[in-house]
């Protein structure tokens, strides 16, 4: 959990990023206390909040009681899920709450793109020329163009995407963040205790398993499932290797749905997302593409309302939810389309260009 506290328009703003649960309750309460020292008019910016549970609900109730009559408390950029929680608890009746509002296209200063199925056409094996033209038009307007992918930089270099002048690379689902010159400016390694378990899975060799460090990636063994999965996504087959004690930022497993569920139930400090029917990413619960975007925005001095994200798969949900505008590709998963702000056409039908023109980011 990361919580920013700052002053804006004469109000004290509390902007939590991550899960507002029992573990975060103490920090959340302290952050609101700091905000009240800035101003008795407090704003809770929930644009980066992923969950709201009872411990933090009590913090909000106590803050509302404290500010009643001597100040104000409002909540902005509230997701549909958290809005339902606030409604159920009656907080909508006593507080000013504003749901997410899409920004104007002229406000967008940075674009974040998944690679496979979003930038890269699986049918063509390249980034379509109309997509490249749209990205170049956005950059001419001063809009940054950033990759946000589950792949590492080693794999990215093997894809036909390196000729474009990207403004940054959020690799390994946002857990290694690189600037335009490929210099790492932020990272989120996995918990050391959890890594012990993950390395045990790797060494046991019951399922094909990849460990990814800052500059390394290697697999325990390769079978037909690995080959078929990687071929279907233009992926490469990692070299077989051994764990040498380095920090691990992500794992990949080639497994069926039942084994995925088993891994989810045993890994306390990890989250799992699918990028293929037999391919999953395993990362720290504190990570994700949205976490990487948050770090990029902080570095560039930008607000989330100035960002726009494009994706097609399950591991893109967090960034589409986090950014000011979240766009699902027409060829994307139905579950992603249901939560996106906008569904564009497919990657093969100028989906990125059509969305950028729809929102007025480019002409």
Give the pLDDT confidence of 220-254 residue by residue, as tens digits.
999 999 999 998 887 889 999 999 999 999 999 99
CATH of the domain at 277: 3.30.1240.10
Domain count, the chain: 3
Give 100 or 214, the one with higher predicted confidence: 214
In sequence order, what are the residues at sequence separation of 6 or more whose Cβ sits closer than 8 angstroms to the Cβ of residue 181?
none
Give the pLDDT of residue 341: 87
| Residue at which a domain ends, from 255, 284, 313 | 284
Residue 105 has pLDDT above 80, yes or no: no
Tell whether 173 and 298 lie within a shared domain: yes
Compute and round to an integer the Cα radius of gyration of the chain: 21
Burial class (CB in 10 A: 0-12, 13-18, 19+), 130: middle
Tell whether 316 and 301 lie within a shared domain: yes
Give the pLDDT of residue 100: 63
- Are the C-beta atoms of residues 191 and 271 closer than 8 Å to each other? no
Residue 34 has pLDDT above 90, yes or no: yes
Residue 260 has pLDDT above 90, yes or no: yes
**Exposure string over 214-233, b if 16+ CB within 10 A, otherwise e:** bebbbbbeeeeebeebbeeb
Give 132 or 163, the one with higher predicted confidence: 132
Give the pLDDT of residue 101: 60
Tell whether 325 and 197 lie within a shared domain: no
Tell whether 172 and 197 lie within a shared domain: no
Closest among 270, 294, 289 to 191, alpha carbons compared: 270
Assigned domain for 320 exists = yes
Tell whether 183 and 199 lie within a shared domain: no
Instruction: Provide DSSP, 244-294.
Output: -S----EEEE---HHHHHHHHHH-TTEEEEEEETTEEEEEETT-SHHHHHH
| Residue at which a domain ends, from 65, 99, 133 | 99
Per-residue pLDDT averaged across 174-194, rounded? Answer: 95
Assigned domain for 363 exists = no
Residue 19 has pLDDT above 70, yes or no: yes
Residue 253 structural domain: 192-284
Give 92 or 308, the one with higher predicted confidence: 308
| Residue at which a domain ends, from 241, 266, 284 | 284
Tell whether 276 and 229 lie within a shared domain: yes
Assigned domain for 160 exists = yes
């Amino acid at each position: 959990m990361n919580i920013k506290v700052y002053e804006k328009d004469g109000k004290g703003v509390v902007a939590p990023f991550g899960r507002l649960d029992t573990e975060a309750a103490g920090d959340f309460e302290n952050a609101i206390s700091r905000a009240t020292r800035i101003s008795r008019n407090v704003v809770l910016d929930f644009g980066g909040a992923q969950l709201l549970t009872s411990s933090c609900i009590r913090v909000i109730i106590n803050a509302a009681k404290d500010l009643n009559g001597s100040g104000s408390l409002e909540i902005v950029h509230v997701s549909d899920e958290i809005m339902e929680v606030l409604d159920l608890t009656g907080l909508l009746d006593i507080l000013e709450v504003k749901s997410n509002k899409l920004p104007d296209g002229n406000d967008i200063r940075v674009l974040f793109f998944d690679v496979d199925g979003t930038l890269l056409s699986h049918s063509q094996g390249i980034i379509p020329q109309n997509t490249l033209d749209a990205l170049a038009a956005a950059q001419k307007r001063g809009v940054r163009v950033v990759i946000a992918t589950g792949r590492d930089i080693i794999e990215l270099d093997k894809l036909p995407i390196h000729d474009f002048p990207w403004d940054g690379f959020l690799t390994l689902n946002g857990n290694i963040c690189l600037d335009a010159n490929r210099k790492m400016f932020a990272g989120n390694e996995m918990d050391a205790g959890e890594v012990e378990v993950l390395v045990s899975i790797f060494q046991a060799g019951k399922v094909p398993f990849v460990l990814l460090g800052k500059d390394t990636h290697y697999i325990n063994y390769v079978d037909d499932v690995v080959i078929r999965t990687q071929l279907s996504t233009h992926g490469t087959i990692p070299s077989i290797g051994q764990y040498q004690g380095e920090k691990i930022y992500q794992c990949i497993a080639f497994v069926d749905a039942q084994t995925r569920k088993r891994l989810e139930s045993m890994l306390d400090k990890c989250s799992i997302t699918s990028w293929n029917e037999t391919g999953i990413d395993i990362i720290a619960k504190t990570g994700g593409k949205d976490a990487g975007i948050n770090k990029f925005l902080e570095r560039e001095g930008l607000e989330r309302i100035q960002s726009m994200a494009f994706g097609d798969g399950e591991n893109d949900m967090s960034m589409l939810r986090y950014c000011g505008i979240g766009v699902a590709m027409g060829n994307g998963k139905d579950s992603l389309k249901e939560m996106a702000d906008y569904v564009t056409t497919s990657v093969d039908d100028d989906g990125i260009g059509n969305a950028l023109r729809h929102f007025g980011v480019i002409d």
